[in-house]
Structure 1
Amino acid sequence: MNLSVFLHTLIDRIEKLTEILVAIYRLLITLILILKVKKVEKKPLRERKLWTHTEVTDYLGISISTYKRRVREEVLNPMTLTGDDRYFEEDLIEALERSRLKGKI
């Protein structure tokens, strides 16, 4: 194969790869938009359950010391109301997903 044919083949493959990357980019943008819309569709505050730190440790199956370590590491980010940690369920699910993606759980 001469150099000219090789270069044309290489250019064709680069163009196909570019088309695939553009398609992946468009899919990612669509996914981001879907996720943003999903976040907006939360229940009204009065219908959302607040979890205590005890309920969180039971739900996650972790000890109090592990719970405190996860708060220090900012894996869990509680709201502090009247001196007690509280969580919305979707915040716990989001924290678990972040930990899973980082390989921590």
Structure 2
Amino acid sequence: MNKIDALLDVLSKIYQILVLVYNSKYHGSLVFDEDPQMDRQEVKDYLGISESTYKRKVKEGVLKPQKLPGGDKYYKSQLLGEFKESRRRGRV
């Protein structure tokens, strides 16, 4: 792991801690207004995965969508770990 990846990892952990502290103190949920909600297609494009990979990850419980009448929805902050894995594999 090079220095930039290590720095990005530390910064993402700091961000997660700040989100937890801020939301537990003021809102009780883990979503900022700046945290965009993404639909199924946006998630596949963001992670660089196919429809079959998406379905497999949902079935395995790696991706946990919010089931809403308009379809599956995610918050971008929920996808951080999967985004790192996609970047590691060279998909994005």
TM-score interval, smaller chain = 0.5 to 0.7
The two structures, once aligned, show a CA RMSD in angstroms of: 2.7
Q: Deviations over 1:46-96 (max 9, x none)?
A: 443110110011111111111000000011011111151110011011444
Instruction: Tell me the distance in 1 between the aligned counterparts of 2:58 and 2:81.
Output: 14
More helix by share: 1
Percentage of pairs with the same residue: 38
> What's the secondary structure of 1:69's corresponding residue?
helix
How many residue pairs get aligned? The number is: 66
Greater RCO, CA 8 A, separation 6+: 2
Aligned to 1:21: none
Question: Which runs of structure 1 show a deviation greater than 4 angstroms over 4 or more consecutive aligned residues?
Answer: 42-46
Taking structure 1 as the reference length, the TM-score comes to 0.50
Aligned to 1:82: 69
Instruction: Tell me the distance in 2 between the aligned counterparts of 1:37 and 1:52.
Output: 25
Q: Deviations over 1:8-33 (max 9, x none)?
A: xxxxxxxxxxxxxxxxxxxxxxxxxx
User: In structure 2, which of residues 18, 26, 33 is the aligned counterpart of residue 38 of structure 1?
Assistant: 18
Taking structure 2 as the reference length, the TM-score comes to 0.56
User: In structure 1, which of residues 29, 32, 52 is the aligned counterpart of residue 39 of structure 2?
Assistant: 52
* Structure 1 runs not aligned, ≥5 long: 1-33
* Structure 1 residues 62 and 50: CA distance shift in structure 2, 3 A: same
The residue type equivalent to 1:78 in the other structure is P
Instruction: Tell me the distance in 1 between the aligned counterparts of 2:32 and 2:16.
Output: 18
